[in-house]
Amino acid sequence: MFTVKQLSKMAGVTSRTLRHYDEIGLLKPSRVGDNGYRYYGEESLLRLQQILFYRELDMPLEEIRKIMGRRDFDMLKALEIHKESLGKQMERTKRLLVTVDNTINHLKGKKIMSSKKLFEGFSEEEQEKYALEAEQLYDPETVRESNRKWKAYSAAKKEAILAEGQTIYVDMVAAMPKGAGSREVQAIVERWRKHMDYFWTPNLEQLLDLANGYNDDPKFKANFDKIHPDLAEFMGQAVKVYVEGKK
């Protein structure tokens, strides 16, 4: 049996977190002593591990509680699914590491990369998800319509769309020294705006929110940082100039 303090240290969570999990019925202690101390046995430890796996997927606590509270919840099956998911994540991380290393060498002048190589490690599914995540800030029907629109494209068309998007960001990096308000950069912003039509058509306010999200949202910024560490912030500045010029 482990106390709250012992378990929090072992699992890397705070004592407050464990108490909160108890309060919301997500993780009850195996027993409570006469002194009011919570004690956790193996079953509780396995349940906590499962909770932390789900938290790694950014799943809300209420959703975790519902899933793990079902009568047909199978912990072994859940672990097998986690294993498969982590395996896929590991493979993708390996590909991204190779891409990052190649980009570092490219920026140091040791190895010249093509525009396509800059985006190796980003699958079509990831590119699609990347574009659609922004839409989830708005109307759900927009997301569904964008999904239908994307799925209607042929494989060749999808490849062409993704290649076009890659070129836009590479061109933007090359034009960054000219300034966000320069004619060259604003022309690239216009290309970017038209490119978004393949997925959805944001209004000016949504366009600015999307560009700001590239820098404010850790997931978006992490992807842009792989291209250039200043690209996300620069996109926000350039699109702001573009939007103000359209009003």
What is the identity of the amino acid at 214?
A: Y
pLDDT digits (tens, 9 = 90+) for 179-206: 999 999 999 999 999 998 888 888 888 8
42 plus 122 within the same structural domain = no
Cα 78 from chain centroid? 22
| pLDDT tens digits, 108-129 | 765 544 444 444 444 555 555 5
Residue 20 and residue 101 in one domain: no
Same structural domain, 208 and 222: yes
Do residues 7 and 45 lie in contact, with contact meaning Cβ atoms separated by under 8 Å? yes
Given pLDDT bands bounded at 50, 70 and 90, which one contains residue 106?
A: low
pLDDT of the residue at 237: 95
Task: Judge if 44 and 134 occupy the same domain.
Answer: no
- The residue out of 91, 113, 135 marking a domain boundary is 113
**Overall domain count for the chain:** 3
**Backbone torsions φ then ψ of 25, nearest 5 degrees:** 80, 20
Query: Global pTM?
Result: 0.48
Per-residue DSSP letter, 58: T
Domain CATH number, residue 215 = 1.10.490.50
Give the CATH number of the domain where residue 63 resides: 1.10.1660.10
Across the chain, what does the average pLDDT equal? 80
- Helix ranges (H only) for the chain are 4-11, 15-23, 42-56, 61-68, 75-107, 124-135, 140-152, 155-175, 183-196, 204-216, 218-227, 231-246
- Consecutive H or E run containing 38: strand 38-40
Q: Say if residue 94 is in the same domain as residue 131.
A: no
Dist CA 113 CA 166 (whole Å): 13
Residue range(s) defining the domain that contains residue 37: 2-70
